[in-house]
Amino acid sequence: MRQYPHLYIDGRWTDPIEPHELELVDPTREEPFARVALGSAADADRAVAAARHAFESFSTTSVDDRIALIDRVIDVYESHIDDFSELIAREVGIPISNRAQVTGPAEHMRVAREILREYPFESRMGSAIVRREPIGVCALISPWNWPVQTGVIKVIYALAAGCTVVAKPSLNSAASGALLAQVLHEAEVPPGVFNLVNGRGREVGDALSHHPNVDMISFTGSTAAGKQVGAAAAGTVKRVCLELGGKSANIVLPDADLERAARWNIQRCFFNAGQSCHAPSRMLVHESQVDQVVPFLADEARRYRLGDPLNIATTMGPVVSAAQFKSIRDHIQSGVEQGGQLVTGGLERPDGLDHGYFVQPTVFTGVTPDMTIAREEVFGPVLAVLPYHDEDEALHIANDSPYGLGGYVFGGDRTHARRVASGLRAGRISFNGAPTDSYTPMGGYKQSGIGRSMGRFGLEEYLEVKSVYGFEDEAQALPTLFG
């Protein structure tokens, strides 16, 4: 049994004020594999005080100093990549073959460093100086489905801006959160600049959301939890950045390469066992072409190799927990009961896997927009294929959702496809499976969130804007804010 008995506050590993622990369950073996310390609202208060004190000096550090700090973090992180890979396989079931989960964070750190190197913290607007200054103490609440990368993106942009941090990872991924704290400790992040308090959302998360000395809160998780965070933060009028749920649609136009669209949709939707907020979990296909795409969908879904995530041959591990396993199966059951047609997958456990939270890659056709699997975020390896009559109906179905995180378009005519992409109400749109770019912003429309992470927009989430007048001569030496 692995032990993570401490919180990380003010540059030191420390015991919680009241000793409490939580057992982490390995989703492959359905048995505990680690114990982590649980903090309380009182521990959150200690961490905020440490971050507030450290902000006085850290906020005045030079860009060069912060670049050097990020370089140290990158070096230490890369020495622990294999440790992270093995740990997240045990705690959340992510296969070690999924290297993007552990190599991606280093790439995001490099991007943040390069943006910081070029970012104009002072600029001219008319005869005034416009300054961007660190917002203050930031509470960062990260999820379990990208347990390292999401936390790293939040932390590294906060540090790049000159902010100090109190981090609270999901309890499902608290062990990898502790390892990330160890990385920052080894990189000699100054005391109080980074703090880690594991704990339950209703206690530690709520305390941070309400705390008068927290200036900004960044939360990634479900829309329901995000609403609670936003409501709690409103009492002290702190800035809120929320990346929440999604039910992304992939519109496959009639002139698309149907095989390419189908195989890509399965690969992207079922990546990470479908536990991705950007997953294209609704595939919209012209009514005359549904029968043509079904064989490709079924074949690609059946190519997944389910099993122990510590086995390099495994391409899909278990879902994260018993609760998630039940929720996904309940959604599959609703799809069957509401008239969906199973192409592949279903409720039964995969062959040869009689324990562990494994869900078969599942594809439904015959789905209508009012069905539960077409409206709710399943957060598992379940794809709903919906027919459409014409382009207007496709856009209506895609946009008829409280979510607006991602969107996808496949087609042959680029001008036509771009027009359709422009009609999607979502924060990130990809054409013909184009990869995303770490320099570009990520975030959602509607109930998929507020604000943006990553790139220049992500850095600016952690900055306040100040206008300074009366220094006309000094302003002339600065770059203009608008071209």
**pLDDT score, position 456:** 97
For residue 345, the SS3 value is coil
Could you give the CA distance from residue 344 to residue 361 in angstroms, rounded to a whole number?
A: 7
Provide CB contacts within 8 A for 361, sequence distance 6+: 266, 270, 301, 302, 304, 316, 344, 345, 381
Looking at residue 111, its amino acid is: V
∠ CA(19), CA(25), CA(31), 5° rounding? 115
% helix, strand, coil for the chain, step of 5: 40, 20, 35
For residue 17, the SS3 value is coil
Q: Which of 91, 243, 377, 461 is catalytic?
A: 243
* Dihedral angle over CA of 306, 308, 311, 317, nearest 10: 50
Backbone angles phi, psi at 181, to 5 degrees: -60, -40
> Each residue's pLDDT tens digit in the chain (483 positions)?
999 999 999 999 999 999 999 999 999 999 999 999 999 999 999 999 999 999 999 999 999 999 999 999 999 999 999 999 999 999 999 999 999 999 999 999 999 999 999 999 999 999 999 999 999 999 999 999 999 999 999 999 999 999 999 999 999 999 999 999 999 999 999 999 999 999 999 999 999 999 999 999 999 999 999 999 999 999 999 999 999 999 999 999 999 999 999 999 999 999 999 999 999 999 999 999 999 999 999 999 999 999 999 999 999 999 999 999 999 999 999 999 999 999 999 999 999 999 999 999 999 999 999 999 999 999 999 999 999 999 999 999 999 999 999 999 999 999 999 999 999 999 999 999 999 999 999 999 999 999 999 999 999 999 999 999 999 999 999 999 875
Looking at residue 23, its amino acid is: E
Q: What are the angstrom distances between the C-alpha of 202 and each of 61, 139, 223?
A: 35, 15, 15
Per the DSSP assignment, residues forming a β-bridge with 382 are: 362
Check: CB of residue 372 under 8 Å from CB of residue 327: no
**pLDDT score, position 482:** 75
**pLDDT score, position 483:** 55
Could you give the CA distance from residue 204 to residue 22 in angstroms, rounded to a whole number?
A: 14
Provide CB contacts within 8 A for 317, sequence distance 6+: 27, 28, 89, 93, 94, 95, 273, 306, 307, 308, 309, 358
Provide CB contacts within 8 A for 134, sequence distance 6+: 55, 59, 161, 162, 163, 462, 463, 464
Domains in the chain, CATH or no CATH each: 2-244+448-468 (3.40.605.10), 249-431 (3.40.309.10)
> Among this protein's residues, is 464 annotated catalytic?
no
To the nearest 10 degrees (0 to 180), the angle between helices 63-79 and 149-161 is 160
pTM for this entry: 0.97
Tally of residues, the chain: 483
Check: CB of residue 261 under 8 Å from CB of residue 238: no
Going by C-alpha positions, the residue among 217, 297, 312, 231 that lies closest to residue 264 is 297
